[in-house]
């Protein structure tokens, strides 16, 4: 008679869940301290103490305090949703469907956290210097997703231009409107329609 040992995947899954809980705790405690005393006034040591971890553990998850704000946990979720979209629809329609799926199922607490993260990124002067790097990261990410959906190269001229338009437009609205399903889908629809600008007659 043979005895089956527990699958390594079970232990691995437990370790990964524990790591994710630690990472989430660090971020939640950091944002609480940012709200209470300000981004600049909050130190990594304070964040680590609030999360009940050592500073060295903090650095295993986030190389800098800045990266704690920059990290976008929704990227892999949206990527997964996008890759499930039919290949015979337009890229904008695919992005739109993916956004509706992800944000439509996002718990209110996670939506609030993401909106707070965006507000910090675009309104804390010390973080604005990182926006350029974040835009380039977004362009590379979106270009890769567009290329995958279309079966083209991520270096294709039109693919890069479209990715830049999407990233730039997202940055523009993020500084003035909350990030939610309505605003993101409105943005994608506007881009898909070819940026149809016209005079505003409402004041007449």
pLDDT along the chain (204 residues), means of 10: 45 83 96 95 97 96 93 91 93 92 90 89 83 88 94 96 93 81 89 84 48
In a domain, 200, yes or no: no
pLDDT digits (tens, 9 = 90+) for 50-100: 999 999 999 999 999 999 999 888 899 999 999 999 999 999 999 999 999
pTM: 0.77
pLDDT of residue 2: 35
Indicate if 76 and 57 belong to the same structural domain. Answer: no
Nearest to 50 by CA among 40, 66, 36: 36
Indicate if 96 and 57 belong to the same structural domain. Answer: no
pLDDT of residue 86: 94
Residues 6 or more apart in contact with residue 62 via CB below 8 angstroms: 26, 68, 71
Indicate if 50 and 115 belong to the same structural domain. Answer: no
CB-CB contact of 188 with 96 (8 Å): yes
pLDDT of residue 11: 62
Indicate if 23 and 92 belong to the same structural domain. Answer: no
Indicate if 81 and 173 belong to the same structural domain. Answer: yes
Distance CA 137, CA 21 (A): 26
Look up the CATH number of the domain holding residue 127: 1.10.357.10
Domain span at residue 19 reads: 10-63
Instruction: Indicate the DSSP class of residue 202.
Output: T
Q: How many domains does the chain have?
A: 2
End of a domain among 63, 84, 99? 63
């Amino acid at each position: 008679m043979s005895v089956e040992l527990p699958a390594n995947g079970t232990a691995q899954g437990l370790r990964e869940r524990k790591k994710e809980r630690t990472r989430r705790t660090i971020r939640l405690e950091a944002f609480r301290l940012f709200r209470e005393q300000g981004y600049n006034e909050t130190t990594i040591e304070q964040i680590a103490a609030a999360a009940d971890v050592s500073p060295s553990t903090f650095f295993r998850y986030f190389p800098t305090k800045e990266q704690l704000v920059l990290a976008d946990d929704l990227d892999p979720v949206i990527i997964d949703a996008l890759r499930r979209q039919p290949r015979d629809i337009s890229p904008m329609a695919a992005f739109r469907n993916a956004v509706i799926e992800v944000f439509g199922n996002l718990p209110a607490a996670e939506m609030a956290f993401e909106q707070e993260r965006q507000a910090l990124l675009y309104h804390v002067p010390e973080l604005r210097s990182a926006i350029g790097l974040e835009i380039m990261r977004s362009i590379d990410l979106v270009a890769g997703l567009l290329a995958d959906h279309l079966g083209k190269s991520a270096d294709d001229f039109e693919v890069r231009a479209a990715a830049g338009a999407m990233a730039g437009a997202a940055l523009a609205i993020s500084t003035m409107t909350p990030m939610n399903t309505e605003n993101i889908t409105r943005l994608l629809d506007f881009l898909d329609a070819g940026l149809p600008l016209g005079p505003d007659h409402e004041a007449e």
